[in-house]
Chain A
C-alpha cells in the first residue's frame, strides 16, 4: 500500500463526513411521494457522463404511474412515447389503459460543469404499494458515452452499493 499524507487523508475524511448527503447520481428531488395523488417528479442531473456534456435524457415511466406530462425546457426537444399499460387505471372516473411510457428530452447540451433539472408531472395510482420504492429508470446520453441509471436494487437497504442506481422515491400512504 502507498502511504498518503495524513493531511490528505484528513481532508478526504472531512469531505466524506460533510458531503455524505450530497447527490452523486441522477436522482429524484424529494424523498417521499404519496400514492393516490399527483406527484411532480424532478430529475436532478448533477453532471455529464465521465466529464462529457449531457445531450439526451430518457425517463421510463413505471407501471402504476399515469397522466405523465413532462415540462418543456428551453433549448431541448421534448418527446413522449405512448403505449399500453399492463392494467387499467381509474383516473377521476375515467378508465385509462394507455398513456405515456417514456419521456425524452433531446437536442440540448448540458456541460459537465453545470447542473439542471428535468420535470414530469404525474399521478401515482392506488395500485402502487405504500412503503416500497418507486424507480424511474433513466438513461443519460452524452456527447461521449452513456450513463444508464437503471439498476434497481433487490434489497433497498443496500441501494448504496449500486454503481448506477435508478432514481427512486419512497412511496407513502395518502395522508
Chain B
C-alpha cells in the first residue's frame, strides 16, 4: 500500500494532535497508590517482583535498587504497564534493608519521585553488621547462659534446699552453678563493653570495655544478679534455717530484679506490665529450675523423704506454672506484636523454638506431677521413671536457656532500636521556628526520631501533624516520608525509620500548624559509616 505526501502529512498532524490531547487531558501528577510489598515491610524471603501502583499511567525515568550491602544493582528489569511499574529482582539479594528509589514521569510530564524500603529477613541494623567478630558473640552467648545457670539453678537450688528440700541434696550442682554464674556475670560485663565499643577480644584487659559495659542497662542487671548469687552462696553456708530462709528469699527477689532491670523486654512499654512480668517470670523459672537438680539427686539416692518433698514442691509449682505462662504470654505479645513477625523475624523464630520446648517441658512436668509423683508416693524406692523424666527436664531447661540467650542478638519486632546509647542531636533554628531532633541510635539501621517543635522564641509549637522526610541525594535515594505521632511527652515520634546507608542525609520536617499553614525546616543529618 502506498500513501501520497498529503496523506502522510495529515497522518503526521493527527499523531501530533493525539499526543498533545492525550498529554494534556490528563493534567495531573501521578501519585503512588500502593506498593507490593508495602513500604517498610520485612519479608522472609526475596520477592520475585516489586510492584509500584500509581493512580494513572506512568513512564519510569530512573529506577534504582540499592541492596542491603549498599551496592547499586544493575540486574533489575523494569517494566511499565499502564499504571503499574514492575521490577523483577535478582535472586541473590543480601539480607537486610533494600531501597527502591524511583523517579517516574506522570502523564502531565512532571517527574514524581520517592523511595520504597523493604527488608529481607530483618531490617539492617548496626548490630547485624559484623561488629566485634563472632568470637565475642559466642562468648557473650555462653556468658549469658552461665548467668542464667547461676540465677536459676544456683539461687533457685539454694532456695529449694532451704524451703522445700529439707537439706542440701544436690548441693554440688547448685553451688557449681553459683560459681559459673558469678564468673559469667563478670565476664558478661566486659564482653558487653567490647560489643558496645566494637573492640577486639584482646581489649578485655583494658579498663574501657568494663566501664562501657557497666554504663549500659546490663550493668545494674548483672550487679543485682551477682549480689543475688552471692547472697545465695552465704545462705547455703548459713548456720540456722531462719537465716537461710530470709537470705534465700532475698536472693530470689534479686533474680526477678536482675531480669526486670535489663534487656529488650524490660525496656518495652508499658513498663508497669513488662517489668513486673519479667520479675515474676524470673522468680518462677528459678523456683522450678532450681528444684530439678536436688530432686534428681534425691530420686537417685532413693531418699525416704522424697514423696513429702515432691508433694510440697508440687503445691507451689502448679499455680506457679500459671504465673509463668501468663507473664510469658504478656511479654511475647508486647514484643512480637503480630503473628507474621513470629516467622518473619529472628526474634519471633527464637520465641517459637522456645515455646515449642516449653510445651514439651510442661508435658514432662505434668507427667511428673500427675503420674510419676503418685508412683513415688506409693513407694519412694520406685524412682526409675521419675529420674528419667527429671533428666529430660534438665536437658530441656538447658536447651531453653541456650535458646533464650540468643535473644541478646536479635532485637524484638516491637523496636529494633531498644539499646539507645547516644542519640544523634540536630538543632534547626530559623526566625519562625526551632526544631530539636533526636535520632537514636543515629547510625546505619533502624532509627527512632524524636522531634521537639518550638516557635522561634522557644515556646512549644502546637502542631496538628508532623511529617519527617528523608533523602540521600548523593546515593540517588529519593524522599522517604514518614508521619510522626504525638507522644504523651509532648514530642513527636517516628519509630523504626530505616537509614540503610551512611552519608549526608537530607532531613525535612513539616509541621502542620493550622489546616492552612505549615512550617517546614530542613537540615543535613550525617550518618557515620563503619
Residues of A within 8 A of B (CB): 1-2, 4, 8-9, 11-12, 14-20, 22-25, 46-51, 58, 60, 112, 115, 137, 139, 148, 150-151
Contacts and interface: CB of A to CB of B under 8 A. Distances in A.
A144 B63 CA distance: 27
B459 interface: no
B53 to A, nearest CB: 9
Given A1-B62, A2-B76, A60 B108 contact: no
B76 A47 contact: no
A9 B20 CA distance: 17
B360 interface: no
B105 A2 contact: no
A144 to B, nearest CB: 10
B325 interface: no
Given A8-B80, A58-B515, A18 B32 contact: no
Interface string B17-61: 001100110011101110000000000000000000001000111
A121 to B, nearest CB: 21
Nearest to A13: B105
Size bracket, chain B contacts: 35 or more
Given A1-B62, A4-B60, A12-B61, A24 B518 contact: no
Contacts of B77: 2
Interface in B101-154: 105-110
Nearest to A149: B516
Contacts of A4: 60-63, 78
B518 A148 contact: yes
Contacts of A137: 516-517
29 contacts: A1-B62, A1-B64, A1-B72, A1-B74, A1-B476, A2-B87, A4-B60, A4-B78, A12-B105, A15-B59, A15-B105, A15-B109, A17-B109, A18-B23, A19-B23, A19-B24, A22-B24, A22-B108, A23-B27, A24-B106, A47-B55, A50-B31, A50-B32, A51-B31, A112-B55, A139-B515, A148-B512, A150-B517, A151-B518
Contacts of B87: 2
A16 B104 CA distance: 11
A48 B33 CA distance: 12
Interface string B275-319: 000000000000000000000000000000000000000000000
A23 B110 CA distance: 10
Contact of A51 (B23, B55, B63, B109): B55
A33 to B, nearest CB: 20
Nearest to A135: B516
Nearest to A49: B31
A64 to B, nearest CB: 16
Interface in B54-102: 55, 59-65, 72, 74, 76-78, 80, 87
Contact of B19 (A14, A51, A115, A150): A14
B518 A15 contact: no
A18 B16 CA distance: 10
A145 to B, nearest CB: 9
Contact of A22 (B23, B31, B512): B23
Which one of B20, B31, B87 has the greatest number of beta carbons of chain A within 10 Å?
Answer: B31
A19 B107 contact: yes
